[in-house]
Each structure stands twice: as C-alpha cells, then as structure tokens.
C-alpha cells in the first residue's frame, strides 16, 4: 500500500467512524420513543417507497421546485455508485475499479456526468430562490438564521462537489484519451480545453480534483447529522415506515380501549385491584418526546424544513399560531436536548422541561383543524398531526385543560351522549314538529 493510499485510508476510516458515532446517537434518541408496529404490509410499503421516496411523486406537486429537487435526488443516487468506486480506488490504489461492468458502467458514468451539470444548475437556482426570490415559505418565526446558513452551506458544498466531479472526469479523459473506460458526454465536450496541457499538469489537475471531490463527500457526510439535510439519509426509512392507513383514521389509545372493554364486560370486576406484577399505568397522551412513539421521533429527524406543510395549513393561513413545521422542528430540538442530557448526566436525568409548554404552547395545538393538509403536503409523508393529537390528549386526559367551547361539548357528550345540550329523550322531538 502506497503512502497516498494509507493517508486516504486513515482519513476515510476517521470520517466514516465519526459519522457512525453521530448516527448511533440519533438512533439512540429515536429509540427513546414508544414501540409502534410499522413492519406490516411490506409489499404496499415498498410500493409507496418507490413512488414517494425514489419517484419523488409528492414533491412534484409543485412542478418547478419539485423537478429541480428530484434532479438533485436522482443525480445523487447515480453519483453514489461513483463515490463507492472512488473509496475502493482510494484504499487499494486502483483506478475505475468498476470499469469491468462494461455497458452498465457506461450508463452509470454517462448519467453521472450529465447529472453533475443538472445538479449544478439546480443548486444555483436554489440559491437564487433562497436569497433573491425570497420564497415566503422559507420564512417564519421558527426559521432562525442558522437554518438559512445551513441550507446555503449545503448548496455550496454540492455545487463544488459537482464541479470537482466534472473536472475529475475531464482530467481522467485527458490522461486516458484513447484507453478510458465508461462514457462522459459532458466531459468530452470540455476535453479540448486541456488537450494542449503538459501531461504533468493534467495529472496534477486530475489528482487535485479527485482529492477535492472525495474530501467534500466526507465533509458533507459528516455535516448531515448536524443539519436539516439529514433527510438525505432519513427519507428512505421514513417513507417506508410512514402511515399507510387513511389520513383521517386515528389510533385508539390502548390504555383507554382496555378500560372501555373492562366497563363493557359484564363478568369483569370494576373494583378488582390490578395484579402486583402489572406495569404502572402509562401517561395518557404525550407531554414530552419520550411519550411519543419512535415513528414520530423519526419524523422529526426527517423534516426538511421546506415549509410545504405550513403553507398548506388553513389555520396558519388565517393567522393562527399553529405552524406544522414548527411542531416538527420543536420536537427535534427537544429530542436533541434530551439526548445531550443523557450523554452528560445519564438516562435518569430530569431537567424539569418538556416538549409541551417549554417548546410548544397549548394555543398552537388547539388551533389545529385536524384536516391532514400538512401530512398530505409533506414530500416525506411526515405526520405532524399525530404529535398534535397526542399533545392534546395529554392536556385533556391528564390535566383537564381544554378551551371553553370544547369543554362544553365534552360535557354534553358525557351527559347526553351527543355534542348538543339536549336530553337523549328529547332527541327526536323535531320529528313531531309541523
């Protein structure tokens, strides 16, 4: 192994190790959530995954930005093959190690060469939209300067990634003009610009481009866990494990269902004490992130902060405090805070803070119409409504805190079996009216 390969191996192992360390923390944080079975219907889930995650069908609902984003996503899928090849070449000192695949390799390299240009153009347009067009959904009280800086850094890194990929391919063609493997339609067009260079200059050009590209890949990889762009990795599992039932269908709380079944059972003793081995009763609804299930916590890490959910929210459009994007961002921020407390103080540490009240105010969640517009709009099938409903359940069932008009309705249901303030015996009096 040559010195250059050894240096690359050390850098590569360190970068992948650091990423794995951060990834393990994120997985640990998501695992703090309650159990939820989303391993059913693998065929249906796989179809949804192909359509939504790989086909980008939901993001194409807004054609202009959707097509640009889809190009970046599809391009990354193709270019990832080349990145894997570069890692192998860097460790073992080979060159274009996948070249033996012939036709497949030519398709992949040609696609990567073209996609590099399309991604480059897309990212320049994204930067223009973000900083000069001033798209409304990119703003909001929950969007801090850090989010905008984060997006800009990611776009700039991707732009230089594509430039270095093109110059690397160009240098490779310059060194192997008559013996190269693969197909490079864009780089071939640029080849005349370097054909007059000395061989040593082309070698240096290729080497600088190669190292620049692979270093940017490793930098971008380790930037992901610290930014909203972690959805690049989380999007696939998030879509696969997303809710596949009708959007209007809500889960029954198992603890409440058990109590109702006990009440309806004529043979049950309602005064019987639970067995000594019984687990302590769970909290109704959710007050903190540990009361949510792991799917909801994974949703929080998958949020791209694109604002499509909030832009479609009728409550937000009428000036109410609710922003579905803020719900997801607050959940993620609180989960990160809990994770840091575990790292610093241990898993039993109590910081006397919670998702509800410290991050999300009751006024926000009571503004929700439960229309599912946010869930329908999300390109990654994230479900902010499920978190809102669980927070509401806590307020109602644990703290008996509800808005006045809703309290009246609940009282009527309890006393009269209907939302209206009429006795059940008078319910059909309207039939006798002339």
For residue range 103-129, what is the model confidence (pLDDT) as tens digits? 999 999 999 999 999 999 999 999 998
To 10 degrees, what angle do helices 3-30 and 63-92 make?
130
**Using 50, 70 and 90 to split pLDDT, how confident is the model at 410?**
confident
pLDDT at 219 over 70: yes
pLDDT per residue over 391-407, tens digit each?
999 999 999 898 888 88
Question: Does residue 48 lie within any of the structural domains?
Answer: no
Distance CA 188, CA 290 (A): 55
pLDDT per residue over 200-211, tens digit each?
999 999 999 999
For the entire predicted model, the pTM comes to: 0.91
**Using 50, 70 and 90 to split pLDDT, how confident is the model at 270?**
low
In this structure, the answer to whether residues 219 and 304 fall within a common structural domain is: no
pLDDT at 361 over 90: yes
In this structure, the answer to whether residues 359 and 405 fall within a common structural domain is: no
Question: Does residue 42 lie within any of the structural domains?
Answer: no
Mean pLDDT, rounded, of the chain: 92
pLDDT at 280: 74
Question: Does residue 84 lie within any of the structural domains?
Answer: yes
In this structure, the answer to whether residues 235 and 302 fall within a common structural domain is: no
**Using 50, 70 and 90 to split pLDDT, how confident is the model at 155?**
very high
pLDDT at 123: 96
Going by the DSSP 8-state scheme, the letter that residue 34 receives in this structure is B
Domain ends where: 240, 273, 303? 240
- pLDDT average, residue stretch 182-199: 95
Taking a C-beta distance cutoff of 8 angstroms, is the pair 387, 331 a contact?
yes
In this structure, the answer to whether residues 210 and 319 fall within a common structural domain is: no
pLDDT at 272 over 90: no
- Within 269-323, residue ranges assigned H as helices are 294-302, 308-312, 314-317
In this structure, the answer to whether residues 172 and 299 fall within a common structural domain is: no
Distance, CA of 358 to chain centre:
23
In this structure, the answer to whether residues 339 and 408 fall within a common structural domain is: no
Question: Does residue 51 lie within any of the structural domains?
Answer: no
In this structure, the answer to whether residues 132 and 174 fall within a common structural domain is: yes
In this structure, the answer to whether residues 380 and 414 fall within a common structural domain is: no
pLDDT per residue over 282-326, tens digit each?
788 999 999 999 999 999 999 999 999 999 999 999 999 999 999
Residue the block writes with tokens 């860097």: 90
pLDDT at 130 over 80: yes
Distance CA 360, CA 380 (A): 22
- Residue 400 has which token pair? 């008996």
pLDDT at 327 over 70: yes
pLDDT at 22 over 80: yes
pLDDT at 144: 85
Distance CA 46, CA 56 (A): 14
pLDDT at 416: 84
pLDDT at 256 over 90: no
Question: Does residue 276 lie within any of the structural domains?
Answer: no
Question: Does residue 375 lie within any of the structural domains?
Answer: yes
Identify the sign of the CA torsion 156, 162, 165, 166: negative
> What is the domain range of residue 329?
244-264+282-394
* Nearest alpha carbon to residue 50 among 40, 62, 58: 58
Question: Does residue 81 lie within any of the structural domains?
Answer: yes
- pLDDT average, residue stretch 78-107: 95
pLDDT at 353: 96
Taking a C-beta distance cutoff of 8 angstroms, is the pair 311, 373 a contact?
no
CB atoms within 10 A of CB 52: 22
Question: Does residue 50 lie within any of the structural domains?
Answer: no
In this structure, the answer to whether residues 255 and 223 fall within a common structural domain is: no
pLDDT at 1: 65
In this structure, the answer to whether residues 301 and 227 fall within a common structural domain is: no
pLDDT at 82 over 80: yes
Q: What is the CATH number of the domain that holds 365?
A: 1.10.1060
pLDDT per residue over 228-248, tens digit each?
899 999 999 999 999 999 887
Distance CA 140, CA 282 (A): 35
- Residue 5 has which token pair? 């390969």
> How many domains, in total, are found in the chain?
3
Give the chain's end-to-end CA distance (angstroms, integer): 98
Q: What is the CATH number of the domain that holds 10?
A: 1.20.950
pLDDT at 399: 92
Taking a C-beta distance cutoff of 8 angstroms, is the pair 158, 119 a contact?
yes
- Residue 309 has which token pair? 């959910």
In this structure, the answer to whether residues 71 and 219 fall within a common structural domain is: yes
In this structure, the answer to whether residues 390 and 402 fall within a common structural domain is: no
Side-chain-side CA neighbours of 4 within 13 Å: the count stands at 10
């Amino acid at each position: 192994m040559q010195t250059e390969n050894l240096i690359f191996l050390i850098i590569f192992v360190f970068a992948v190790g650091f990423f794995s360390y951060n990834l393990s923390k994120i997985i640990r944080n998501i695992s703090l959530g309650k159990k939820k079975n989303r391993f059913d219907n693998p065929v249906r889930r796989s179809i949804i995954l192909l359509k939504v995650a790989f086909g980008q069908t939901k993001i194409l609902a807004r054609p202009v930005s959707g097509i640009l984003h889809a190009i970046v996503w599809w391009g990354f899928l193709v270019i990832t093959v080349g990145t894997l090849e570069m890692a192998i070449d860097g460790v073992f000192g080979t060159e274009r190690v996948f070249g033996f695949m012939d036709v497949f390799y030519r398709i992949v390299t040609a696609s990567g060469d073209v996609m590099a240009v399309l991604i480059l153009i897309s990212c320049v347009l994204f930067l223009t939209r973000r900083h000069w067009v001033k798209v409304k959904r990119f703003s909001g009280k929950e969007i801090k300067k850090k989010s905008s800086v984060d997006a800009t850094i990611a776009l700039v890194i991707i732009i230089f990634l594509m430039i270095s990929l093109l110059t690397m391919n160009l240098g490779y063609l310059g060194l192997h003009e008559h013996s190269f493997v693969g197909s490079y339609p864009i780089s071939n067009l640029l080849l005349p610009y370097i054909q007059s260079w000395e061989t040593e200059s082309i070698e240096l050009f290729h080497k600088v481009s190669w190292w620049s590209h692979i270093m940017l890949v490793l930098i971008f990889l380790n930037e992901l866990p610290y930014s909203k762009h972690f959805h690049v990795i989380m999007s696939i599992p998030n879509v696969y494990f997303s809710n596949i039932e009708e959007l209007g269908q809500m889960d029954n709380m198992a603890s409440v269902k058990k109590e109702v079944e006990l009440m309806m059972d004529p043979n049950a003793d309602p005064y019987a004490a639970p067995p000594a081995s019984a687990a302590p009763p769970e909290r109704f609804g959710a007050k903190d992130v540990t009361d949510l299930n792991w799917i909801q916590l994974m949703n929080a890490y998958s949020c791209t902060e694109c604002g499509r959910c909030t832009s479609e929210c009728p409550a937000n459009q009428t000036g109410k405090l609710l922003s579905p994007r803020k719900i997801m961002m607050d959940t993620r921020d609180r989960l990160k805070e809990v994770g840091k407390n575990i790292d610093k103080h241990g898993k039993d540490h109590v910081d006397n803070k919670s998702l509800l009240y410290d991050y999300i105010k009751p006024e926000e969640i009571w503004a929700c119409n439960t229309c599912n517009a946010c869930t329908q709009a999300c390109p990654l099938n994230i479900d902010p409504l499920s978190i809102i409903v669980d927070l509401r359940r806590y307020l109602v069932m644990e703290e008996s805190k509800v808005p006045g008009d809703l309290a009246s309705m609940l009282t009527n249901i309890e006393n009269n079996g209907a939302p209206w303030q009429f006795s059940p015996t008078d319910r059909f009096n309207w039939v006798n009216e002339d």
